[in-house]
Structure 1
Amino acid sequence: MTSATPVGDAYPYLRAASAGIRHHSRTLAPRDQHPASAADRAHLDVLHAHLTALHQLLDQLAESTRPPHPAAGRQLATAHTRLWQATAAVHDAFHLLPVAEASSAGTDCQPDRLPEGPPVLTICQRHRAAGHVVRRKTTPSDLNTPAPGHTTTCAQ
């Protein structure tokens, strides 16, 4: 029996998020007269928010897929780990970028100074919360293992 919802309409919010990323990527692409703009802290903060939301979705998919389809669940769990590595790299890049003059006070990763933390450190709060989930489900050796090669066959 087939689903009544067409595949293209099954996940409208996820499709909209993907379309937004494609649009943003096109606007950042270098043009003949305009060089690509460099990432700034605000840009990386928004990207980090997207990655952590995607990380949470992938975690839920891996958990629900693992019982009926163990091999697919393991692959999704591996993707979950790799996505965390990308999220951590974006967080690190955020802290390597220069701080704007207006928000130069308190830019260390210490969100516990204020209940909500300084606005520039919301990325750190988000990263800590996601990291807590990762540490409960992933071993340090898994996080440091390089990505494996492609192990399935794809239909061309």
Structure 2
Amino acid sequence: MTSPLRPDDAHPYLRAASAGIRHHTRSLASPDARPPRRADRPHLDVLHAHLTALLHLLDHLAETTRPPYPTAGRHLASAHTRLWQATSEVHSAFHLLPADTPAEDAEASACHPERLPEGPPVLTICQRHLAAGHVVRRRTTPTDLRPHTTACVR
């Protein structure tokens, strides 16, 4: 006989990722961090990777939840759309920050999918963003991407 999983044990990797984000947020806000740390390209690249992973998770959850529970599935699909908007803004912010060296700055400030921008060699932020955008465009209409207001129905 197996015992039911506690909520903390059901998704250990997701729980660990959330704990890592909480730790990082606390360390950035720490009064010991003098001067205050600003966002830089590596931070935004890692944050973008995390957001796109969450996009894939929400997409999967929405698709598997929608048949038996249509209303809950629609809410998850709406969360997916809003998360895409946040991911897109992080991508834009990445390109507005200065590059590591001034010579790279002009070259790296624009998104060039045909070339590899600086970043991790396996998957760059632009490639990751284009791949996520492809999935979003297949499942989302332009009307869905309009500004959103939330009203709790509980």
List gaps (5 residues or longer) in structure 1. none
The answer on 1:123 being equivalent to 2:125 is yes
Answer whether contact 2:55 2:84 (CA < 8 A) is retained. Answer: yes
Aligned identity (percent) is 64
- 1-side partners of 2:23 and 2:81: how far apart? 27
| Aligned twin of 1:73 | 73
Contact kept? 1:41, 1:97, Cα under 8 Å: yes
| Matched residue, 2:113 | 111
Q: Distance in 2 between matches of 1:40 and 1:32?
A: 19
Asked if structure 2 preserves the Cα contact closer than 8 Å seen for 1:58 and 1:76, the reply is yes
- How many angstroms apart in 1 are the aligned matches of 2:100 and 2:80? 33
Unmatched tracts of structure 2, length 5 or more: none
Q: Supply the distance in 1 between the matched residues of 2:114 and 2:33 (Cα, whole angstroms).
A: 45
Asked if structure 1 preserves the Cα contact closer than 8 Å seen for 2:117 and 2:126, the reply is no
Q: Give the alignment's TM-score, normalised by structure 2.
A: 0.88
For 1:76-155, what aligned pairs fall within 5 Å after superposition?
76-101=76-101, 104=104, 106-107=107-108, 108-113=110-115, 117-120=116-119, 122-144=124-146, 146-153=147-154
Using the alignment, how far apart are the partners of 1:140 and 1:30 within structure 2? 40
Residues 133, 97 of structure 1: CA spacing in aligned structure 2 closer, same or farther, 3 A cutoff? same
Name the SS for the 2:114 alignment partner.
helix
Deviation at 1:3, TM superposition (A): 5.9
Structure 1 CA distance, aligned partners of 2:69 and 2:3? 20
Within 5 Å, which residues of 2 pair with 1:7-22? Answer: 7-22=7-22
Q: Which consecutive segments of 4 or more residues in structure 1 shift more than 4 A?
A: none
- 1:32 Cα offset (Å): 6.7
